[in-house]
Amino acid sequence: MVSAYKEGAWKGVNGSLPGLSLEEQIKGLNSLMIHLRWQEKDLPGIARAAELAEKLIGNSGDEGALGSWKAVCFNRAAFFWRGWGDEDVEISKTDEAASERFAHLNLELGLRLGRGAVPIGRAEWLVGAFAWSRGDKDEAKTRFEKSLKLVQEGDDPLEVKMVEAYVNAVSGQDNSDLLAELDAAEKGEFYATQVRNATQILG
């Protein structure tokens, strides 16, 4: 799909779809979204790809295709969250608000498809992140607390600390000790920076 886009833009994308299965179509559009975000910095293009994927998936019950659609929904939401503090794109509050429904779809699909605790925990976190962005810290806290319980079943203690720090951030609790622990851990600064950026941007 990315190659088709590079060679023929959207006309190339549309021309490549008929020869693919539904799962391949949705998976290809997700790969295109990732390319458009990190290589092209094209937010309208990401929205267009997700819209096309949504039309294609329709009411399909194909689990493989739905799994790919879940990935589309996660990225469609995550790429439009202001809390990352990304400096290479400008995300408006309007565009962010229009993206929140995809965070909810990602969670619904995770539950429907029987995904494990950690993917569901991350989906709860994403819903909470959007709640925080629109100023609903109570819902954000509830979602982050659900996320924390679920990611504790995984094998990444840094992710657990990060989600705990998100709970603290929307609760008005001091995060300095927890963020210092993340900073001191190998690769922990990546997680700590996420929390600091979101706190600075969203308050």
Domain boundary among 83, 115, 147: 115
Domains held by the chain: number: 2
Quick one: pLDDT at residue 124? 98
> What are the backbone dihedrals phi and psi of residue 60, each rounded to the nearest 5 degrees, phi first?
-60, 145
- In angstroms, the CA 175 to CA 180 distance is 8
Residues 105 and 133 both lie in one domain? no
State mean pLDDT over 154-173. Answer: 97
pLDDT digits (tens, 9 = 90+) for 100-136: 999 999 999 999 999 999 999 999 999 999 999 999 9
Quick one: pLDDT at residue 90? 97
Q: What percent of the chain has pLDDT over 70?
A: 100
Residues 37 and 87 both lie in one domain? yes
Residues 63 and 158 both lie in one domain? no
- Extract the tokens encoding 117: 């605790």
Residues 134 and 87 both lie in one domain? no
Return mean pLDDT, the chain.
97
Cα-to-chain-centroid distance, residue 163: 15
Quick one: pLDDT at residue 89? 97
Range of the domain at 58: 1-115
Residue 142: band (very low, low, confident or very high) from pLDDT cuts 50, 70, 90: very high
